[in-house]
């Protein structure tokens, strides 16, 4: 069952136009702003990290965290997600865990998007395989890559 325990924050796209040193400084400012906002609102969080133009942090109340941060400087999109820790980093275990999360959320047309920070995991292959599993296991679904009703990230 899908239980959000993590938030993914997409940073404003104009930050990527800055030089590397300015980007690095902006990322640090944004991370500090997130920490301050969460602390000021009494929300639990753990390990705020920045990678690939995104900020990730674990939290027990992702809905409240998103509500607090939705109008913060430099943040573009915020997503509640479920962080899954696999005993072994195997493609099959990631696929099975992802399918379990998707079963209750997908309705109608869908698209699967994956981003891998691990060179051992092929994100495109995961997208194709998970999409195929969803089609096989969830009735009345269809793939729509341009305007899906549901997007699995």
DSSP 24-41: HHHHHHHHHHHHHHHHHT
**Nearby residues of 133 by Cβ (< 8 Å), 6 or more positions away:** 95, 99
Helix (H, G, I), strand (E, B) or coil at 76: strand
Q: Give the whole-angstrom CA distance, residue 3 versus residue 12.
A: 27
What average pLDDT is seen over the chain?
84
How open is the CA angle 50-54-57, to the nearest 5 degrees?
A: 60
pLDDT in tens, 14-44: 888 899 999 999 999 999 999 999 999 999 9
Q: What's the residue count for the chain? A: 153
Q: What is the token pair recorded at 144?
A: 């729509």
């Amino acid at each position: 069952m899908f239980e959000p325990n993590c938030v993914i924050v997409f940073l404003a796209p104009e930050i990527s136009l800055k030089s590397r040193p300015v980007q690095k400084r902006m990322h640090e400012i944004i991370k500090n702003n997130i920490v301050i906002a969460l602390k000021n609102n009494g929300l639990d969080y753990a390990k705020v990290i920045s990678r690939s133009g995104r900020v990730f942090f674990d939290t027990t109340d992702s809905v409240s965290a998103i509500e607090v941060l939705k109008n913060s400087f430099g943040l573009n999109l915020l997503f509640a997600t479920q962080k899954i820790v696999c005993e072994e980093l195997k493609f099959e275990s990631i696929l099975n865990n992802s399918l379990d999360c998707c079963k209750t959320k997908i309705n109608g047309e869908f698209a699967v998007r994956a981003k891998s920070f691990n060179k051992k995991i092929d994100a495109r292959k995961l997208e194709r395989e998970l999409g195929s599993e969803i089609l096989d296991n969830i009735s009345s679904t269809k793939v729509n890559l341009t305007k899906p009703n549901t997007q699995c990230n």
